[in-house]
Amino acid sequence: MTGLENLWKLYLPLVGWVVFGVILGYKLPQSIPLVLGKFLFWIGVPLSILTFLQQADLSASVWIAPMAAWAAMLLGAGLAWLWVQLHLRLPFFRSPSDRHHLTQRHYPLQHPPSQGSFLLAAMVGNTGYLGYPVALALVGPQYFGWAVFYDTLGSTLGAYGLGVLLAAHYGKTATNQAQFLLALIRNPALWSFWIGLGLNQLTLPIAVEQGMQGIGWTMIALSLLLLGMRLSQIRSWGSVQQASISLSIKMLLVPLVLGLSLSQFGIHRPAQLVIVLQMAMPPAFATLIIAEAYDLDRELTVTTLALGSLLLLLLLPFWLILFS
C-alpha cells in the first residue's frame, strides 16, 4: 500500500478521534480531560511504548533519531531567535513618531515573555501523543523505534531541559527548576522506553502480542481523544501572525532542511520519513505547561497549538510525496 493510501487511512481515525474529543470537551466537565491525561501519562503512553517497541527494528542506526531531534530543536530555536532579533531592529528604521505606535501594535515580540513562547513553539513538537499514531499509520510498527527514540531522548528531554532554561530566561517569574528536573526523572515514558529496550529481544506468545497490540492501539486512540478535548479548551486565537511564523519554522523549514540532509548520513526511507514526520509535528502541549509555569505569552502559545494542529493535516501529503 502506498504512502498516500495510508494517509487516507490515517485521516479518518485521526480527524475522527480528535473531532470527537473536541465535542466531548464541550460537553463533559473539565475534570475528565485532567483524569484522562493523568491516566495516559502514567499508564497509557508507557504501555503503548512497551507494546510497539516489541515489533520495532532497533538497529544501531536508530540512535541517529535523538541526534536528529536535538538538531531540529536547536535549529528551530536558532532560527526563531534570529527572527526575533530582526523583529526588534525593524522599528528603529522608522521615524520616532511612528516607532511607538508600531512597537505596540505590530511588534509584540518586543516583550521577553512573547519571545520565550515564540522560541518554544518553534522548538518542541508533539511527538508523543500525535507523532506516535502518525508514524505507526504511515510507516508501520517496524520503524516505530525511531519515533520513540526521537521523542523520549529528544523532544521530552528538550522540552523539560533546554525548554525550561529558555522559559526561565524569558519568563517573568522565578520558578523552581528542580521541580521540572524531578518531573523529567519521574517521566514514566522514559522508564518504559528503557524497559522496552530490554524486552525487545524477547519472543512473546502470539496471544500476548495480539493483546498488547490491542491495548497499544486503544491508548493511541485515547491520546487523540485527549488532544481533541484539550483543543476544545482553547479560547484564544490571537497572535495568529506571530504563530504562523513560528509554525513555518517548526513545521516546514526545519524538517525540509534537515530531512533532505539525512540521506547524507546514510538515513533513507522509510526511517527518513519517520524522522521528518516527527520534526514536522505541531508544538507540544508541554509548551503550554511551561508557558504557564514561567508566565510567558499564553495567548501566543495556545494559538500555535491550535493552528499547528490544523496545519499538520495540510502538510502531511507534502511530506509523503517528498519522502516516501
For 28, list phi and psi in degrees, rounded to 5.
-90, 160
Indicate yes or no: pTM above 0.85. Answer: no
What pLDDT was estimated at residue 128?
79
Q: What mean pLDDT comes out for the span 180-192?
A: 72
- Average pLDDT taken over every residue of the chain: 81
**128-137 pLDDT per residue, tens:** 778 888 888 8
**63-120 pLDDT per residue, tens:** 889 999 999 999 999 999 999 998 887 654 444 544 454 444 455 678 888 999 999 9
**241-277 pLDDT per residue, tens:** 889 999 999 999 999 999 999 888 878 888 899 999 9
The CATH number given to 3-323 is 1.20.1530.20
**161-182 pLDDT per residue, tens:** 888 888 888 886 655 666 666 7
Residue 51 scores a pLDDT above 50: yes
The contacts found for 157-161 with CB under 8 angstroms, 24 or more apart, are 157/184, 158/69, 158/70, 158/73, 158/123, 158/124, 159/124, 159/284, 159/286, 159/287, 159/290, 160/184, 160/187, 160/286, 160/290
The number of angstroms, rounded, from the C-alpha of 130 to the middle of its chain's C-alpha atoms is: 7
More confident site: 305 or 250: 250
The burial of 156, by beta-carbon neighbours within 10 Å (0-12 exposed, 13-18 middle, 19 or more buried), is given as: buried
Residue 323 scores a pLDDT above 80: yes
